[in-house]
Structures are given as structure tokens and as C-alpha cells.
Amino acid sequence: MNTKIQLPLQTFSLIAGFMVWVILSSLMPFIKEEISLSTNQLALITAIPVVLGSLMRIPIGYWTNRFGARKLFSISFLLLVLPIFYISIADSFVDLLIGGLVLGLSGAVFSVGVTSLPKYYPKERHGFVNGIYGVGNVGTAITTFSAPVLANQFGWQTTVRFFIILVIFIAILNFFLGDKKETKVNTPLMEQIKGVYKDEKLWFLCLFYFLTFGVFVTFTVYLPNFLVTNFGLDKVDAGLRTAGFIALATFVRPLGGWLGDKFNSFKILMIVFAALTLSGVLLAFNPSLLYYTIGCLTISLFAGIGNGVIFKLVPMYFSKQGGIVNGLVAAMGGLGGFFPPLLLSFLFNLTGHYAIGYMALSQVAMASLIIVIWMFYQDKLSMADEIIDHSTQGIFVTDLNGKIQKVNPAFTTVTGFSEEEVIGQNPRILKSDKHSNDFYEELWKTVKEHGIWSGQIWNKRKDGQLYLVWVTINTVKNNGGEIKNYVAMFSQIDEITGF
């Protein structure tokens, strides 16, 4: 029973964490009326919670594997009491900066669930489960919508203090309902890092999440003030529109996870990054509120789907280092929400508009699209290699000149020749004296005319012993119909007949 409650418990905890994470950005229109802030200071304060919230995701992912989600959630939420109270009594830029930095811990708890929850479900459901957990993003929408309403009624300082009650409640909830028997992983941190840091897939996934989650965070912290300043909207109206952006991105995240479980994840990401590319171009042309809304909602939809798909790929490639990889990928996503607001602010001060910033978004999305296409074809090649390597039949591939380019382990088992000994050699090193030259000439004539030949051949092992095999030789052609390789598959006759 305790294990079944972990998904809703951890999802609810993430909702609370994300509610706290965006306190400053949601209340900034009210805060700046009492505390004088420059444009750059405003951008820094709204972005600073993302820093600790990003960097702490790496150790928190590791600690979750080691100590369990129950302890990590309970301790993290208790620690949040201090920065929340400190922000509620802040009266200067420095106070907001210090409180916001520590407040980032509320965003770091994301790593807890993506590391813990896959332990309770089979791999074919990891995408959907992590997508459900990712609905915790809706916490940012709840605060973005409700905080301005409460601030109008009670003032922004009292509104901030309300969140102290929330974090204490969540800490108690996890202490009593968290799984005390969660499976622990005690692999040393450096050992896990050494096992993954050279794998390019890790850094590509980091880039993808840097973009998809970074876009989500950037628009979450930037839209409330941007809509008020640029389009003259009421503060509550801006909060409501931002909440709509967040809600859409959040609720399609399980859809992204489900699509990743159901279809090829790379194909889904191709669509995601193509849509983000086009949306960035649209926003760069400084459109009216209507077209700006269309561009933002398109970004929200596809960023949310992308977020769900990416965490389907993490356990697929890094099942043994899930904690540290989840932490690294999640951290890069968080940092993706830190730098763009600062860049947008800098470019606006420099040029007077945001067009260059939106075009930068478009270009990063296009680069990600190109990488995904490359990964898709690399994955297909990797799958083909896996099939060849695990085949019980001996297989070797030659170029048009008959030079061996690849062999599989079964080839070595049957012939006695290692891969190093045969690469670049001609298959005649296997030739016995049992067949005439006419036999081989007829064989290759058939292959070139019909694309295939099958039959029995006597070959010779490395130790000189003769053995009889059944061989099938096929041609491999390119898209233009030209032969580019020959592939031979063979099995010993005694393995086929039992003689």
C-alpha cells in the first residue's frame, strides 16, 4: 500500500516545491512598487532562484538514490522555511537576492521524484510515470495565478508567509507517508560520474532539456512583468495568462511521456524542436498580442511534450546511473531558465527589443533538431550492430574490393580468427582446397546478378581444421541502387542437422 501512494505523494510534493520556486517572479509587479529595482536587478532576482535550484539537482539526484525520497523531501521542505520568511521581511535588492538564491532549493526537489519513482514501475511505463510526476510543474501556475490575487488582498509580504504553512505541511506528509523501505543505490558519486561523462548521449539530453525546460522556466519568470510592461496588461490579467502558459506545458507533459512510451522518442523530439524553431521566428518579429499569444502557447505545448519525452530517454540509456544522470539533465534544464532572462534583459537594453533573443531560441532549437535527427540514425545503426553482435550465426561484411570491414563474435567462435586478425583481409583466408576456382567464380557471378547466393562451403579454421558451413551471401545497396557492401552469414552444418 505504501508503494502505491508514492506517485501521488511525490507529485503533490513537486507541486508544492514549484509553487514556492516562483514566489519572487509572481509577486515582482508588487515587490518593485515598494523596493526600487533597476531592469537588470529585476531580471537577476527573478532568475536567481533557478541557480541553486539547478545546481542542487545533481547532488539531490545522487542523495535520493542513496537515502530515499522520504528523507530528501522532508529535509528539503523544512529548510525552505528560512528563505521564505527572510523574503517576507526583505526591504532591499540584496535581501531579495540572498533569499531568492536559497529559495532555489524548492526547484531542486525535482530530481527526487525522477530518480525515485522509476524504481516502482517497469521500463515501458517510465515515460508516462515521469510525465505524471512532471505535472508538478503546475505549482508554478498555481502561484503565478493566486499570488497576485492574494497580494491584492493581504499585501505581498503576508502572501509570502502563507507558503511557510505549505512547506511545513509537505515535510510532515513525506515524513509519515514516504517509503521507508525504498531501494537504495550506494554507488560512489565519482564512480557514477566517470561512468557517464564521456557518453555524448548524456550531453545531448542535457542540451534538449536545457532548451525545453529552460523555455518553460524563462517564460514563467518573465511573462508576468513582460506582459504588464510591453502590452500594458493588468497585473492579475498578466498572472492569469502566464498561468495558462504554465498549465498547458504542465498538463501535456504526461502526454509527452506517453508518446515516448508508445512511439519512437526521437521522432517526437523532431516535431518538438521544429515547432520551437518556428515559434521563435514568429516571436522575433515583435507581433501583436494575438500572435504573441499564439507563439507562446505553441512553445508551451511543444516544450511540455518535449519535457515528458526526454525523461523517458534517461532510464533507457542510463539505468544504472539514473540518479546522477537525472540530476545532471534536470540541472541543465534549470540553468536553461536562468541564462535566457538575463540575456533577454541585456539584449533589450542594448537594442531596445527582444527580437535577437527570440531568434537565438529559434537557432538553438534548430541545432537540437539536427542533433536529434543524427541520434535517430545513430540509434538505428546501433540497433543493427546489436543484432549482428548477438546473432548465433557467423557474420562478416566486406567492401566492393572484398576487404573485410566487420565481423561478429560468432565469426570468431566458428573460425578461430579474432576481429583484429581479419579486418582488412580478404575472405580467402578461410578458403579450403575442397572447391575449384570455377566454383567461386560462379558463386560471385550469381551474387552480382541476383543479389544473393546460398549453399554449402568447406572452409578452414585458423588452426587448419576443415569445417562445412551453410552460407548466405547478400548484396547491400545504397539509395541509388548501387552495391556498396557484401554480407555473408554462415552456420556450421552440424549445428543445423545435429550430426
3-class state of residue 402 by DSSP:
coil
For residue 26, CA distances in Å to 39, 417, 440 come to 16, 68, 78
> What integer is the mean pLDDT of 368-392?
77
Last residue of a domain, one of 387, 407, 434: 387
Q: State whether 226 and 103 are in the same domain.
A: yes
- Whose CA is closest to 452, among 488, 428, 427, 478? 488
- From 359, 387, 415, give the residue that closes a domain: 387
pLDDT, position 313? 78
Same-domain check for residues 399 and 336: no
% the chain with pLDDT above 90: 18
> How confident is the model over 47-67, as pLDDT tens digits?
778 777 778 887 888 888 888
Distance of CA 96 to the CA centre of its chain: 31
Interval 322-348 mean pLDDT: 71
List the strands of the sheet with 404-407, edge to edge.
404-407, 394-398, 483-492, 466-477, 452-460
> Do 302 and 183 share a structural domain?
yes
How confident is residue 1, by pLDDT bands cut at 50, 70 and 90?
very low
What CATH number does residue 115 fall under? 1.20.1250.20
Considering the chain, what is the average pLDDT of its residues? 83
Residue 314 sits in the same domain as residue 425: no
Determine the average pLDDT of the residues in 314-342. Answer: 69
Higher pLDDT, 355 or 458: 458
**pLDDT tops 50 at residue 497:** no
Say whether both 195 and 334 belong to one domain: yes
pLDDT higher than threshold 60 for residue 322: no
Kindly tell me if the per-residue pLDDT of 494 is higher than 70: no
Judge if 264 and 197 occupy the same domain.
Answer: yes
Dump pLDDT digits (tens) for 225-267.
778 877 888 877 887 888 788 888 888 888 888 888 888 888 8
Establish if 63 belongs to a structural domain: yes
If asked whether residues 285 and 430 sit together in one domain, one would say no
Q: With 90 as the cut, is the pLDDT of residue 324 above it?
A: no
Among 488, 490, 485, which residue's Cα sits nearest to residue 396? 488
Q: Which pTM does this prediction carry?
A: 0.64
Which of 108-117, 330-339, 394-403 is predicted with the least confidence, judged by mean pLDDT? 330-339
How confident is the model over 430-462, as pLDDT tens digits? 888 888 888 888 888 898 888 899 999 999 998
Same domain (yes/no): 362, 404: no
The grid coordinates of residue 51 equal: 541557480
On whether residue 336 sits in a domain, the answer given is yes
Mean pLDDT of 393-399: 88
Q: Tell me whether residue 1 is in a domain.
A: no
Q: Confirm whether 400 is domain-assigned.
A: yes
Same domain, 274 and 369: yes
Whether residue 318 is predicted with pLDDT greater than 60 in this model: the reply is: yes
Range of 461's domain? 392-497
The verdict on 313 and 358 lying in the same domain is yes
Q: What is the CATH number of the domain that holds 483?
A: 3.30.450.20
Q: In this structure, what DSSP letter does residue 393 have?
A: S
Specify whether 274 is located in the same domain as 166.
Answer: yes
Query: What pLDDT, on a 0 to 100 scale, did the predictor assign at position 194?
Result: 67
Return the amino acid letter for 96: L
Q: Which of 198, 221, 201, 207 is nearest to 333 (CA)?
A: 207
**195 located within any domain:** yes
Query: Would you say residue 58 lies in a domain?
Result: yes
pLDDT in tens, 68-83: 899 999 999 999 999 9
How many domains would you assign to the chain? 2
Q: Is the pLDDT of residue 33 over 70?
A: yes
Q: Residue 468 pLDDT more than 60?
A: yes
Split at pLDDT 50, 70, 90, the class of 341 is: low
Do 453 and 325 lie in a common domain? no
- Is residue 286 classed as helix, strand or coil in its secondary structure? coil
Task: Examine the pLDDT at 499 and tell me if it is beyond 60.
Answer: no
Determine contact, residues 337/51, Cβ cutoff 8 Å.
no
Q: What is the dihedral of CA 362, 363, 367, 370, to 10 degrees?
A: 60
Of 334, 363, 387, the one marking the end of a domain is: 387
